[in-house]
Amino acid sequence: MKSKHVQHLYWRVGFGILPKQLETLSKKSKKSVVNALIESSKEIKPLRLDTSEMDKLLNDSQDNFKENIKKFQKLSREKTKELNVAWVDRLSHSNALLREKMTLFWANHFVCEDNNYIYTQNFHNRLREHALGNFKDFVKAISKEAAMTKYLNTKQNKKQKPNENFARELMELFTLGVGHYTENDIKESAKAFTGYSHNLKGEFVFKKRTHDESDKTFFEKTGNFNGDDIIDFILEKKQCAYFISEKIYRYFVNDTINETHVNQMTDVFYKDYNIENLMRYMMLSDWFYDDENRGTKIKSPIELLVGMNQVVPIKYKAPRQLFNIQKLLGQILLNPPNVAGWKGGRSWIDSNTITLRLKLPSLILNQSYISKSKIGISDEAISEKKDAFKKAYGKRFKTEANWKAFDKAFANIDLNDIENHLLACPISDSARLYLESLNKVSKQEYGIQLMSLPEYQMC
């Protein structure tokens, strides 16, 4: 397999690849490399934090209910931030690379947010569990998750007063897309999901007394349908396979759709809705590695941060700083902007975020400074002496960059060849002139300079 194709594969289904692994995989066939990626992601390893203190509060007597609720809510906020940091760490170090990248993808498909940490943890581990499994089972499992029943008000969906939120988003955002169902389909399917609830621990509970037992007419079928029936009917439509294939294509291949390729993916997916088979087909397809698809996608903030961490392992002495960087860049894990999630693509970049993105390698790896105020700091401001900068724009990032790991990884790589390992797209003429004007003191400095280019924003 060509080196540039291995790099492309690992930039898309992962967060980059180091020279030694690249050299090893470049000697293997495409089928062997893809199979190894899938095989390494077979194991499902949940990401869990210690919740013993929260469990104790849930099991405490009702006498302290109000006080315990306040304590529980405070712990939930703290644990959610801890999970954010732990998830970034998992993305940076997991052997199950494809499963973790797919979990990140599904988190922006089945968008959900909750203020109960236990529900949040359960929900995202459910994403991880089904990330490469059967899509039908996946949708049914998500429909019963406590975080989702709260987020889209299924818990309030009762036969006396149906709530249509989940039924609408199930079709619009999760399975079919706009225009492939009627308002009556929404109303009728909402009745099928009545009675969905959960207990205090987040376990699914079906409340039969609030479930609508009447006949529902959905997609021209009539019967006493339940929620699982509705999902079965939705997946009978090939549009569902197309909708998911198109979304995966945009995320992993190109923001610009190639109808022929998406239709090929749809045919594969519609056979059995096996996500692993769909991803295998995409990764083995020759068109996945075409020039028009390589180095053409803008990295999400998380892809940017994790990718940098692959090159130079970074330890944040105050984990909250990692959380704040995500906020400034416009993508906080576990905190989506709305039920549609992040738009991705060009929406990641604006006049404010591009400034921060280009400064980020120096800020994190060179112990520079970052603004607490609106990002958009000029070069003149950044060149001010440190004390003045700190006073005007905020506090220093306290990070520890593992340059020994970088030096070891790039020991056998010529300084002038480092760009071929860090950049996914060709360097522009202006960037080339800039690089040629630099005094290349060391591989470390040159690595930072390369990661500060606009080209590094692409994958």
> Cα(216)–Cα(452) distance, rounded to whole angstroms?
58
Average pLDDT rounded to a whole number, residues 327-345: 97
pLDDT at 375: 41
Q: Tokens 């249509």 label which residue?
A: 164
pLDDT computed for residue 396 by the predictor: 57
pLDDT for residue 388: 44
Whether residue 210 lies inside any domain: the answer is no
CA dist 98 and 101 (Å) reads 5
How confident is the model over 197-218, as pLDDT tens digits?
999 999 999 999 999 999 999 9
Q: Per the domain annotation, does 83 fall within a domain? A: yes
| Dihedral pair phi/psi, residue 85, rounded to 5° | -65, -40
Q: Are residues 433 and 317 in the same domain?
A: yes
Residues 375 and 434 in one domain: yes
In a domain, 212, yes or no: no
Q: How many CB atoms lie within 10 A of CB 326?
A: 20
Is position 430 within any domain? yes
Tell whether 437 and 349 lie within a shared domain.
Answer: yes
What is the crossing angle of helices 275-284 and 97-107, to 10°? 110
Bridging pattern class, strands 216-218 and 204-206:
unpaired
Domain-embedded: residue 447: yes
CB 332 within 8 A of CB 84: yes
Lowest mean pLDDT among 97-106, 220-229, 347-356: 347-356
Considering 75, 104, 133, which residue would you say is the last residue of a domain? 133
Reported as a single tens digit per residue, the pLDDT across 45-104 is 999 999 999 999 888 767 787 889 999 999 999 999 999 999 999 999 999 999 999 999
Q: Which residues contact 254 (CB under 8 A, 6 or more apart)?
A: 292, 293, 296, 297
Is 321 found in the same domain as 267? no
Please indicate, yes or no, whether residues 253 and 329 belong to a single structural domain of this protein.
no
Together in a domain, 51 and 36: no
Say what percent of the chain tops pLDDT 70. Answer: 93
pLDDT of residue 66: 85
- Residue 142 within any structural domain of the chain: no
253 and 306 fall within a common domain = no
The reply to whether 347 and 417 lie within a common domain is yes
User: pLDDT band at 240, cuts 50/70/90?
Assistant: very high
Pair (36, 73) in one structural domain? no
Both 436 and 362 in one domain: the answer is yes
Answer whether residue 230 is part of any domain: no
Domain boundary, last residue among 293, 319, 340? 293
Give the model's pLDDT for residue 383.
47
Closest listed residue to residue 184, CA positions, set 161, 216, 139, 231: 216
pLDDT digits (tens, 9 = 90+) for 399-436: 999 999 999 999 999 999 999 999 999 999 999 998 88
Provide the number of structural domains found in the chain: 3
Are 100 and 116 found together in one domain?
A: yes
Rounded to whole angstroms, how far apart are CA atoms 216 and 263? Answer: 32
Domain that holds residue 89: 47-133
Average pLDDT, the chain: 93
What integer pLDDT is reported at residue 107 of this predicted model? Answer: 98
Q: Are residues 313 and 443 in the same domain?
A: yes
Distance CA 349, CA 344 (A): 9
Q: Closest by alpha carbon to 459, among 315, 296, 323, 246?
A: 296
pLDDT for the residue numbered 118: 96
What was the pLDDT predicted at 368? 56
* Res 60: pLDDT: 79
Q: Is residue 394 part of a domain?
A: yes
Of the three residues 256, 276, 293, the one that is the final residue of a domain is: 293
